[in-house]
Amino acid sequence: MTEPTPTRCASVAIIGRPNAGKSTLLNAILGEHLSIVTPKPQTTRKRVLGIHTTDATQLVFVDTPGVLKPRYRMQSAMMGYVSDTLAESDVICVVVDVTTVMEHDTVRDPLMETLIRPLVEKEHLPVILVLNKMDAVKQPQLVLPYMEEARHSGLYTRAIAVSAKSGREVDALVDLLAEFAPEGEFQYDPDSLSTLPQRFFVAELIREAIFHRYRDEIPYATDVQVIEFAEHSDAKWHITADITVERDTQKGILIGKGGEALKQIGIDAREKIEEFLEQPVFLELFVKVRSDWRNDRNQLANLGY
Ligand SMILES: Nc1nc2c(ncn2[C@@H]2O[C@H](COP(=O)(O)OP(=O)(O)OP(=O)(O)O)[C@@H](O)[C@H]2O)c(=O)[nH]1
Ligand SMILES: [Mg+2]
């Protein structure tokens, strides 16, 4: 009798600077719009877990907030999520925007390196450099020297060039990660995509709609909490959410004349939520002011940071 092939399972951290395309990459790997994506930096604020399972391998991805020097207490919490994720990972994907690499003419980034170096030197974790946004590079051969630089950096186990947007080489990345997955039992049901509750994704989709509709300060001063999430007999799910802002002026802008602005956000968000839940929903939004919540320890705790 032949032994069955042992299964493999790995926790894979997706880390990198804001806007590198980490969330887009997670979505491309899973083939689902799980983690919200916007053109603005600092979109992701918490850890977004996504599970990719094949016959023999389960990769448990954790998308994280972009790495930066914190200015607000909220950003300190965000960087805490990055460290926590790194501490629990078997493999690390460092995602960089290849156009930024070319601009700086190096893959080196001191802030990222202070995070990764101890994991490489003490824990001997495999770290994969993912050069993302290759679709934006006209001459792909110009990227080869940076892959070479990564190989000789003493930090990166491998380097791979992908496009999360077009999906190019994303399967190759998944195969590469599977090679580094240790033997072990699957951690989660092979059919599940995430362990986070639906209401988390609903709140995120509302935040995404706000990021898309407003420039500058409003998205950053905003947080969303789902208050009610209930199945109703008329088959429509009733969802109520609070949009938290820092100031009365922001509340005024979000609500708009005669409530028109808030109505538009509701329409945008509802469309995405219905697509995500595959279920018609009735969405009700309220705007609340909690002054300076991004710097207030108690407020942040209340908001789940
Ligand atoms: N051209 C191109 N754009 C991309 C690619 N991947 C992501 N983007 C764009 O880059 C922007 C940021 O993408 P996100 O996935 O939100 O980036 P992120 O690293 O998760 O950003 P934070 O959550 O803010 O740290 C969006 O406008 C994406 O559409 C890619 O492969 N090619
Ligand atoms: Mg993100």
Domain end call among 121, 149, 180: 180
Query: Would you place residue 143 in the very low, low, confident or very high pLDDT band (cuts 50, 70, 90)?
Result: very high
State which of 180, 212, 245 marks the end of a domain: 180
**Same domain for 36 and 69?**
yes
The pLDDT tens digits of the residues spanning 261-291 come to: 999 999 999 999 999 999 999 999 999 999 9
Q: Is 47 part of a structural domain of the chain? A: yes
DSSP the chain: -PPPPPPEEEEEEEEESTTSSHHHHHHHHHTS--S---SSSS---S-EEEEEE-SSEEEEEEE-PPP----SHHHHHHHHHHHHHHHT-SEEEEEEEHHHHHHHTSS--HHHHHHHHHHHHTT---EEEEEE-GGG-S-GGGGHHHHHHHHTSSS-SEEEE--TTT-TTHHHHHHHHHHHPPB---SS-TT-S-SS-HHHHHHHHHHHHHHHH--THHHHT-EEEEEEEEE-TTSPEEEEEEEEESSHHHHHHHH-GGGHHHHHHHHHHHHHHHHHHTS-EEEEEEEEE-TTGGG-HHHHHHTT-
Residue nearest to atom 13 of ligand 1 (CA): 21
- Whether residues 271 and 243 share a domain: the answer is yes
Q: Which CATH number do you get for residue 216?
A: 3.30.300.20
Domain-embedded: residue 2: no
* Cα 166 to Cα 135, 242, 276, distances in angstroms: 7, 35, 21
If asked whether residues 16 and 154 sit together in one domain, one would say yes
Ligand having the closest approach to the CA of 166:
1
Same-domain pairing of 252 and 162:
no
Residue 263 lies in a domain: yes
Residues 165 and 206 in one domain: no
Asked whether residue 121 falls in the same domain as residue 211, the answer is no
Q: Check pocket membership of 23 for ligand 1, CB cut-off 6 A.
A: yes
What's the pLDDT score for residue 223? 97
Total residues belonging to the chain: 305
Instruction: State how many domains the chain has.
Output: 2
Q: How many CB atoms lie within 10 A of CB 145?
A: 13
pLDDT-derived band at 1, boundaries 50, 70, 90? low
Is 236 part of any domain?
Answer: yes
CA 24 to ligand 1 center in whole angstroms: 6
Q: What's the gap in Å between 2 CA and the centre of ligand 2?
A: 44
Nearest CA to ligand 1 atom 26: 39
80 and 227 share one domain: no
Task: Indicate whether 247 pLDDT > 90.
Answer: yes
pLDDT at 231: 79
Residues 87-139: tens digit of each pLDDT: 999 999 999 999 999 999 999 999 999 999 999 999 999 999 999 999 999 99
Confidence band for 206, pLDDT divided at 50, 70 and 90: very high
The pTM of the full predicted model, rounded to 2 decimals, is: 0.96
Same domain, yes or no: 16 and 164: yes
Structural domain for 129, as ranges: 8-180
Q: By the 8 A CB rule, do 30 and 38 touch?
A: no
Q: Confirm whether 292 is domain-assigned.
A: yes
Does residue 284 fall inside a structural domain? yes
**Do 171 and 208 belong together in one domain?**
no
Statement to judge: residues 171 and 210 lie in one domain: no
Domain for residue 192, yes or no? no
Together in a domain, 124 and 233: no
Asked if residues 172 and 134 have their Cβ atoms less than 8 Å apart, the reply is no
Is 259 within a domain?
yes
State the CATH number of the domain containing residue 125: 3.40.50.300
Distance 233 CA to ligand 1 centre (A): 39
Query: 180, 209, 238: which is the final residue of a domain?
Result: 180
Q: How far is the CA of 208 from the centre of ligand 1 (A)?
A: 13
Query: Per residue in 20-53, pLDDT tens?
Result: 999 999 999 999 999 999 999 999 999 999 999 9
Q: With a 6 A CB cut-off, is 99 part of the ligand 1 pocket?
A: no
Domain shared by 136 and 211, yes or no: no
Share of the chain above pLDDT 70, in %: 99
CB of residue 18 inside a 6 A radius of ligand 1 = yes
Determine the pLDDT at residue 5. Answer: 81
Determine the pLDDT at residue 215: 86
Distances (CA, A) of 156 to 42, 61, 117, 149, 178: 25, 19, 10, 10, 16
